[in-house]
Amino acid sequence: MLQATTAGGAAFDNRAAPPARIGWTTVFILFVFYVFAMVDRQVMAMLVDPIRHDLDISDVKVSLLLGLSFAIFFSTIGLFMGYLVDRISRRTLIAVSVALWGISCAACGLAGSFGELFLARMLVGIGEAALGPAAYSMLSDSFAPRRLSMAMSIYSAGGLVGGAIAILGGGLIVEFSRSHGLIVLPMIGALSSWRLVFFLTGLPGPLLALLAFIVPEPARTGRLAAAAGPSRTGVGGFIREHWKLLALLCLGYGGLNMIINNVFAWSPTFMKRSLGMAPVDIGLTIAGLLLFCAVPGQAVIGWWTDRQAALGRGDSYLRYFVLFVPLCVPTAIAGLLSGSPLWFALGMAPLFFVAMPFMGAAAAALQRITPNEYRGRITALFLMITMLIGIGAGPTLVALISTALDPAGKAMGTALAIVVAGSAVVAVVCLAAAAPLFRRTLESS
């Protein structure tokens, strides 16, 4: 049975889809990889002050380590990875990438200068660049459209769980180091706590990569070659035909990415400097917000968008955020400006529930309008733009605003509030403008 799902007449072939058991096993393995990826990516947020002290660097340089060092190669190499996703075994590509970013993360623990740490973070970005495009492509070939958003959401929840582990584990290790000083490892010698964190999170990578071979490579479906629609002139022709919709999706979801990555990157520092919280309390607070707000929010988004799509409301992937982001951003701003740990947590809870788990819906929306031949490259382009917005520019923008307002670093909450508010406006306006174009694209398939 063929079921139309993408622009230009490409269709999902239910006969080619793997059994449900294989499909959900694939989701679980990709979920584990995403947990691991986010631990490696986000653990630095808990280590800002120890790294600053050991390497004698400024907040602006730290922001480059938190954002640009990772994003620049994650984004640019991601385009090449997207090309490979469309042409070679996706599970093999993922396995190699997992091993690479694990080794690179461990190498961060050996860095003796800002330049060496910047280079190691760049290599982490190269390793992680293949996971998103390959995972989205595999899931799109494993699930019919009526179940795709939930599968994408469960996979994307791995990022939230990984972020919680990174924040909580980093806080516990930093607290441990206060009473135990340097940690001595065989053949390596004495290490400060932040270096040990990178070793513990990175070294399991090569072994974990073997999980990719537990499930088979799913057959590619939804291909233009099997459709009765007009021929394309390649991925460039697809982009030219849908450039306005793609641009609005990148800007809209990029605004949401700006919000979540700045909250991930700078909230621990803000909570320590402005709220006077200990590392363990910081870890518990953010991990609690992720596990009890963002993860349930991810499930709700997956259920709601799949249900709406089944009822013929194809723009549900966008409309959810247009409806609910304006309701949660004011409480987040109030929490950032409150000066109270309790009110900060209460104010951020709605934002974590609504905006933090956006990527599952964004990925499902992109796969619905993209033929299989182009999914790897279009996804890589989408991730490049949204990552450069959210990770590349976001943390540095917050650092620059904070430094301009107060060189002593006490204005981090105000800077975060400004960037969150501005990003929310961009996200809502762009996604609202994209919704009618998205509906027309689905209806023309």
State residue 224's pLDDT score.
Answer: 56
**CA distance to 181, 186, 386, per residue, from 256 (Å):** 39, 44, 9
Tokens of 38: 């986010």
CA-CA distance, 290 to 274, in Å (whole number)? 21
CA-CA distance, 104 to 101, in Å (whole number)? 5
Tokens of 326: 């304006």
Q: Under DSSP, is residue 113 helix (H, G, I), strand (E, B) or coil?
A: coil
CA-CA distance, 188 to 165, in Å (whole number)? 25
Q: Which of 132, 116, 27 is nearest to 84 (CA)?
A: 132
CB atoms within 10 A of CB 245: 20
CA-CA distance, 269 to 126, in Å (whole number)? 26
CA-CA distance, 400 to 418, in Å (whole number)? 12
Going from the first residue of the chain to its last (445 residues), give the mean pLDDT of each consecutive group of 10, the final group possibly shorter.
Answer: 42 64 93 89 76 82 76 76 89 94 89 88 84 89 82 87 81 66 62 79 90 90 51 76 94 93 85 87 88 91 85 86 96 95 96 91 88 86 85 80 84 92 96 94 77
Q: Is the dihedral of CA 328, 432, 376, 221 positive or negative?
A: positive
Q: Which residues contact 314 (CB under 8 A, 6 or more apart)?
A: 368, 438, 439, 442, 443
Q: Under DSSP, is residue 235 helix (H, G, I), strand (E, B) or coil?
A: helix
DSSP string, 16-47: GSPPHHHHHHHHHHHHHHHHHHHHHHHGGGGG
Tokens of 40: 């490696």
DSSP tag of 294: I
State residue 272's pLDDT score.
Answer: 87
Q: Which of 440, 413, 414, 399 is nearest to 67 (CA)?
A: 399
State residue 9's pLDDT score.
Answer: 39
CA angle 321, 13, 98 (to 5 degrees): 65
Environment class of 409 (CB within 10 Å of its CB; exposed 0-12, middle 13-18, buried 19+): middle
CA-CA distance, 156 to 148, in Å (whole number)? 12
Q: Which of 201, 210, 129 is nearest to 170 (CA)?
A: 201
**CA distance to 190, 193, 224, 234, per residue, from 183 (Å):** 5, 7, 57, 55
Q: Which of 255, 358, 386 is nearest to 301 (CA)?
A: 358
DSSP tag of 276: -
State residue 319's pLDDT score.
Answer: 93
Q: Which residues contact 348 (CB under 8 A, 6 or more apart)?
A: 263, 267, 289, 331, 332, 335, 336
CA-CA distance, 320 to 300, in Å (whole number)? 10
Q: List % helix, strand, coil for the chain (3-state, nearest 5).
A: 80, 5, 20
DSSP-assigned beta bridge partners for residue 2: 13
CATH of region 2-220+233-443: 1.20.1250.20
101 membership: H or E segment, kind and range: helix 90-108
Q: Under DSSP, is residue 183 helix (H, G, I), strand (E, B) or coil?
A: strand
